């Protein structure tokens, strides 16, 4: 390290030699945020400049850190004339990371492990430990990448170091990794010099979110209770939000005729309603969070490890799904956040608002990337087609528009009408945009060429929710009058009419490989229907106010968000009727 390197590094960071360690960290974070390449997505020239700039910033940071505290050197003895120095080994950094993690200093521990990996690129133990730390800190995509690298290098379980295993056992922050522990502790080992091993999918699946299959005995008894009853009256158990996981002792009888007819007078076709071949119950596992602001949008990334919530005040919060901790709060929208979508590579979050804007956010540090005005009267919904690099927006102004995802450039307007378009969904290939309109009609619009391909006079009231089945052959619609129908795609023929709700349908989501359809309404009720028969199988009072969004985390788990500022995590259990 020359004096010129040191001087230029201080100039780049705008610091003086007497600056503190915290000053150095703050300056680094500021510069890294300013020149992060994710802020220039779609601007190839600026991306190249940013990449070169970030390399210079990282190099200067290492120089200043080394000069400031000797982070890559340990002084063992000194005298007036000489200083004996020995280089820190990867194991030195690794041991120091364990000490810091045990003290709860996770960020500092991760930095030590990064130094170890820089010296020894195949240090499997360092990759796994850093991946665990990143996950605990909320950086799921970085943590997942490190855990995958550790698996490729031969570490699938926490069986190589007793000290790390002890941290996982004793610290609740690491509870999601306890399934990776061996029953019997092992000794230290696996420095990571061995050849990269070939691992298959069954080996790496240990790092997916563990499935929770516990169901209380009380719930099992309730599920099996009166299962074979063929009475016209049936009973439902209501789960009270103020007592998570507990069922009320009061039973509320529900008349089948009342469920068949909703407030609009529409009666489900009796010939179309067949006897259900399965029974199902909704069971509250836990409250994901409570006492938040009005939740208007809800989404998760591809692996289900990060949750994003949008609020009426325009803020967006990012959550770690495993430990249910919020780690970023994004502010930019001037009005209510209407919709959220994660990019397929978990690098960018797209958001829309009633201010008419689409915004892009970096998931690496929560920084704002860019925004563009999409509609004059607010964005009601939008979809991202990663296959074709398109973004499709629906507005309160009655327009549905297609944008270039990379340049945020308007390509075409595929629908323009006087009434609002509250909801849209994309076909599996992205070629067709299915639009639900305020006048109750469903429009099939060609995403690539524009224009209406098919018009279906589906309902008499505003369509508030649309959802495609997993196989893409059916889609469901829900209206402000409580109607719920299932439609064939791409023919647009009505496949089945469901037992309707007496309140506005606000959200729909398929689960259990499309065997069940979950729905929510304005009163806070959560419902499940059998898609084969159209029968309502179970309904619970899930929220104290309107349910705004439903999110399918897995085939069995649904998240619900509402105006009461609460997110409930629900397990849906099914079994055949015997």
Instruction: Give the pLDDT score at 44.
Output: 64
- How far is 333 from 315, CA to CA, in rounded Å? 7
pLDDT tens digit sequence for 139-163: 766 777 788 788 787 776 665 577 8
Instruction: Give the pLDDT score at 291.
Output: 62
9-18, 116-125, 159-168, 410-419 — which one is most confidently predicted on average? Answer: 410-419
Q: To 5 degrees, how large is the angle CA 472–CA 478–CA 484?
A: 85
For the chain, domain boundaries: 3-84, 88-207, 224-576
* Across 17-26, 307-316, 445-454, least confident range: 17-26
pTM beyond cutoff 0.95? no
The stretch 275-291 carries a mean pLDDT of: 86
What is 224-576's CATH superfamily? YVTN repeat-like/Quinoprotein amine dehydrogenase (2.130.10.10)
- Is residue 391 a contact partner of residue 358, using CB atoms and an 8 Å limit? yes
Per-position DSSP letters for 9-47, written without gaps between them:
HHHHHT--TT--HHHHHHHHHHHHHHT-GGGGTT-HHHH
Identify the DSSP state of 169. H
What is 3-84's CATH superfamily? DnaJ domain (1.10.287.110)
The stretch 469-492 carries a mean pLDDT of: 93
pLDDT tens digit sequence for 30-76: 888 777 776 666 566 667 777 878 888 888 888 888 776 544 433 33
CATH architecture observed for domain 88-207: Alpha Horseshoe (1.25)
- Is residue 117 a contact partner of residue 153, using CB atoms and an 8 Å limit? no
Confidence band of 477 (pLDDT split at 50, 70, 90): very high
Q: Residue 85 above 50 pLDDT?
A: no
Averaged confidence pLDDT in the chain: 77
Integer angstrom CA distances of residue 528 from 91, 127, 295: 54, 43, 22
- Is residue 386 a contact partner of residue 378, using CB atoms and an 8 Å limit? no
């Amino acid at each position: 390290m020359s004096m010129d390197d040191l001087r230029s590094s201080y100039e780049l960071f705008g610091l003086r030699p007497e600056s503190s360690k915290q000053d150095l960290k703050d300056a680094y974070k500021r510069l890294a945020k300013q020149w992060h390449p994710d802020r220039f997505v779609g601007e190839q020239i600026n991306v190249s400049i940013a990449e070169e700039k970030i390399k210079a910033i990282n190099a200067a940071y290492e120089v200043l850190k080394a000069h400031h505290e000797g982070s890559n050197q340990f002084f063992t003895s000194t005298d007036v004339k000489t200083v004996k120095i020995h280089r820190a080994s990867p194991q030195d950094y690794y041991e120091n990371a364990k000490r810091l993690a045990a003290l709860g200093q996770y960020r500092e521990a991760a930095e030590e492990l990064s130094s170890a990996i820089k010296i020894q690129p195949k240090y499997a133990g360092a990759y796994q430990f850093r991946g665990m730390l990143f996950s605990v800190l909320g950086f799921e995509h970085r943590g997942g990448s490190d855990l995958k690298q550790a698996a490729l290098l031969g570490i699938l379980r926490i069986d190589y170091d007793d000290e790390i295993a002890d941290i996982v056992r004793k610290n609740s922050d690491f509870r999601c990794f306890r399934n990776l522990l061996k029953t019997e502790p092992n000794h230290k080992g696996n420095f990571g010099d061995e050849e990269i091993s070939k691992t298959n999918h069954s080996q790496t699946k240990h790092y997916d979110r563990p499935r929770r299959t516990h169901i209380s005995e009380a719930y099992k008894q309730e599920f099996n209770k009166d299962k074979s009853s063929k009475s016209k009256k049936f009973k439902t158990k209501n789960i009270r939000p103020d007592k998570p996981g507990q069922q009320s002792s009061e039973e509320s009888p529900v008349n089948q005729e009342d469920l068949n007819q909703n407030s609009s007078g529409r009666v489900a076709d009796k010939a179309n309603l067949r006897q259900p071949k399965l029974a199902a119950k909704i069971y509250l596992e836990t409250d994901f969070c409570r006492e938040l602001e009005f939740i208007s949008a809800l989404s998760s990334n591809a692996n289900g490890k990060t949750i994003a919530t949008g609020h009426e005040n325009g803020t967006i919060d990012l959550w770690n799904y495993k430990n249910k901790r919020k780690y970023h709060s994004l502010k930019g929208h001037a009005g209510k956040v209407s919709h959220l979508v994660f990019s397929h590579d978990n690098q960018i979050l797209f958001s829309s608002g009633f201010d008419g804007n689409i915004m892009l956010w970096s998931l690496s540090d929560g920084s704002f990337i860019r925004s563009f005005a999409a509609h004059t009267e607010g964005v009601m919904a939008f979809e991202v087609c990663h296959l074709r690099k398109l973004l499709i927006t629906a507005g309160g102004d009655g327009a549905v528009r297609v944008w270039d995802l990379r340049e945020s450039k308007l390509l075409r307007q595929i629908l323009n009408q006087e009434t609002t378009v509250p909801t849209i969904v994309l076909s599996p290939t992205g070629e067709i945009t299915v639009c639900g309109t305020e006048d109750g009609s469903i429009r099939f619009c060609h995403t690539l060429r524009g224009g209406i391909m098919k018009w279906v006079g589906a309902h008499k009231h505003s369509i508030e929710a649309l959802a495609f089945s997993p196989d893409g052959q059916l889609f469901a619609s829900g209206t402000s009058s409580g109607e719920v129908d299932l439609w064939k795609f791409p023919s647009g023929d009505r496949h089945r009419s469901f037992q309707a709700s007496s309140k506005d349908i606000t959200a729909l989501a398929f689960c259990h490989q499309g065997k069940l359809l979950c729905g929510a309404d304005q009163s806070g009720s959560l419902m499940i229907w059998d898609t084969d028969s159209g029968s309502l199988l179970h309904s619970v009072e899930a929220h104290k106010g309107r349910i705004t969004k439903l999110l399918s985390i897995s085939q069995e788990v649904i998240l619900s968000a509402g105006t009461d500022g609460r997110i409930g995590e629900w397990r849906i259990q099914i079994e055949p009727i015997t």
